[in-house]
Structure 1
């Protein structure tokens, strides 16, 4: 699994979003806590605070300087992935589906697809995806071509998998206000 935590944190005052506390635990801690039982190993795509992230898995930084978006993390993780499949998730969704890997894998293998992505019933959730490791070259090319993740997924024939029964699991936190609102809702 690769947790995508390489953003700039512009909407949270430049802070590293994955390390921000949420009801007593960091976002990275929450995501790992939900998904670690579904995967064999954990890669964390992060461009800063590598020592702090290393407590949770092997840290990979984007090639080159700066922040290059989620496809850079996906391409890098695919290049370093030793397993047959790679699950990707964003660090800013604190409650991912507990059956994410299993459902994506079952759908991909049943349809003989090289990639599967969650659909929440309203829209595709492009960062909640499963890829065959053989897609590393295609991801690197898409990154070089400056494609957004969803366009690359379209190009490789990614299968959309219905997760409308768990749509709330894809809620992500982008601002400090959203962090506080989540804490208020889940404190009950």
Structure 2
């Protein structure tokens, strides 16, 4: 399988952080999102950001910004669908998704998801703490099925992936998927650097 395209999911509402874009918060000498980009970009053939609202706020990143195509806040699957539609327009067969608030994501995320994806090329990451449903390998061929599921009201990533026999890529370290949800988490991430 060729290198997939990467899509960073930044469409969340960040309620526990007081709203706004968590990924743009400072971390070390950059931002949380900058750390995600630095780790994911070398693993993929191209990179886009899934975010809603005014894309100008991400202009300095130099990435395409793709909004959810499903009305209302439909959760991460809506971002996956937006990424699949973007990838289809690029002629790609797969995307890999990662959350915008996880600055320590695995540097071997993509190859391990590809190994777990089997013939369909569908897999989710997992760690000792459980499945990590915003970290996945997704085939463009399933985008119409996903669109129909979202229109029917499905919001749970795992319910949809299990329908299609998704593989699981096991990662040994929960810290690789540490996400910044609160000001305390941000302080912890600074300390982890």
Q: What is the TM-score of this pair, normalised by structure 2? A: 0.88
Aligned to 1:86: 95
Identify which of 46, 49, 68 aligns with 2:51: 46
**For residues 31 and 131 of structure 1, what CA distance do their matches in structure 2 show?**
19
Query: Given the alignment of the two structures, is residue 124 of structure 1 paired with residue 93 of structure 2, yes or no?
Result: no
Aligned to 2:167: 159
Contact kept in structure 2, 1:113 and 1:159, CA below 8 Å: no
Identify which of 59, 70, 87 aligns with 2:65: 59
In the alignment, structure 2 segments of 5+ residues that lack a partner are 1-5
Aligned to 2:11: 6
**For residues 183 and 53 of structure 2, what CA distance do their matches in structure 1 show?**
20
Aligned residues: 183
Contact kept in structure 2, 1:41 and 1:57, CA below 8 Å: no
Contact kept in structure 1, 2:114 and 2:123, CA below 8 Å: yes
1:49: how far off? 4.2
1:32: how far off? 0.5
Contact kept in structure 2, 1:86 and 1:130, CA below 8 Å: yes
Please provide the CA RMSD for this pair.
1.6
**For residues 170 and 144 of structure 1, what CA distance do their matches in structure 2 show?**
29
SS at match of 2:96: strand
Instruction: Pick closer, same or farther for the CA change 1:66–1:23 going to 2, 3 Å.
Output: farther
Aligned to 1:106: 115
> Which deviations, in whole Å up to 9, do the C-alpha atoms of 1:67-114 show, x marking residues without a partner?
321111101111110311100011011111001001111232xx3133
SS at match of 1:18: helix
Q: What is the TM-score of this pair, normalised by structure 1? A: 0.90
Query: Given the alignment of the two structures, is residue 74 of structure 1 paired with residue 83 of structure 2, yes or no?
Result: no
* Structural mapping, 1:145-184, within 5 Å: 145-147=152-154, 148-164=156-172, 166-184=173-191
> Which deviations, in whole Å up to 9, do the C-alpha atoms of 1:146-186 show, x marking residues without a partner?
2211111111111111112x332011111111101221233
Contact kept in structure 2, 1:32 and 1:56, CA below 8 Å: no
Aligned to 1:135: 142
Query: Given the alignment of the two structures, is residue 32 of structure 1 paired with residue 37 of structure 2, yes or no?
Result: yes
Contact kept in structure 2, 1:47 and 1:67, CA below 8 Å: no
